[in-house]
């Protein structure tokens, strides 16, 4: 099994459609999909994000980081939320992504989440992180 992050991205237009959707309807549709993931035993985590206008951007282009309030300058593809699934293959992650109830114009990016086992185990920082993960029940 491997973990894959399904990154939900929307455009200004698909975000506007989302905002227009009654909350009860949105919760019902997403709840049904989430329930399928839970019953299949593949859901690790899932979160949606608040309105982009409530966020900030930290820009590291200069010598010191610069913080600016949202909304972002370019809003062609906003990161709106994510799922982390524990599935056997990338193809299985793709099949789940195809079933996400999304608005036209939305996209889902799929990225594998490497396991801590893939990093050099003799590295002090990896050992510390592994110990923390074991202590918090993540391993």
84-95 per-position pLDDT tens digit: 999 999 999 999
Residue 8: exposure state from Cβ atoms within 10 A (0-12, 13-18, ≥19): buried
The set of residues, in sequence order, having a beta carbon less than 8 Å from that of 108 and lying 6+ positions away, is: 6, 7, 8, 9, 97, 100, 102
What per-residue confidence (pLDDT) applies to 130? 94
Residue 133: which H helix or E strand, with range?
Answer: helix 124-135
The residues pairing with 6 across neighbouring beta strands, listed in sequence order, are: 83, 110
So where are the chain's domains? 2-59+66-135
30-61 pLDDT, tens per residue?
999 999 999 999 999 999 888 777 888 888 99
What per-residue confidence (pLDDT) applies to 17? 83
% residues pLDDT > 70 (the chain): 95
The set of residues, in sequence order, having a beta carbon less than 8 Å from that of 21 and lying 6+ positions away, is: none
Answer for the pair 37, 43: CB distance below 8 angstroms, yes or no: yes
Domain 2-59+66-135: CATH superfamily, name plus number: Dimeric alpha+beta barrel (3.30.70.1060)
DSSP for 54-118, written as a single string: G-EEEE-SSSS-EEEESSPS--SSEEEEEEEEEES-HHHHHHHHHTS---TT-EEEEEEE--GGG
60-78 pLDDT, tens per residue?
999 999 998 876 656 667 7
106-116 pLDDT, tens per residue?
889 999 999 99
């Amino acid at each position: 099994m491997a973990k894959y992050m399904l990154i939900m991205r929307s455009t200004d237009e698909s975000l506007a459609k989302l905002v227009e959707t009654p909350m009860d309807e949105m919760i019902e549709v997403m709840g049904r999909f989430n329930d399928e993931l839970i019953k299949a035993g593949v859901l690790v985590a899932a979160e949606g994000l608040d309105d982009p206008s409530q966020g900030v951007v930290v820009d590291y282009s200069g010598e010191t980081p610069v913080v600016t309030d949202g909304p972002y300058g370019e809003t062609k593809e906003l990161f709106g939320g994510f799922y982390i699934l524990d599935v056997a293959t990338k193809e299985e992650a793709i099949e789940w992504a195809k079933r996400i109830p999304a608005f036209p114009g939305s996209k889902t990016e799929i990225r594998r989440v490497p396991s801590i086992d893939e990093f050099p185990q003799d590295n002090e920082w990896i050992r510390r992180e592994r110990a923390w993960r074991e202590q918090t029940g993540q391993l």
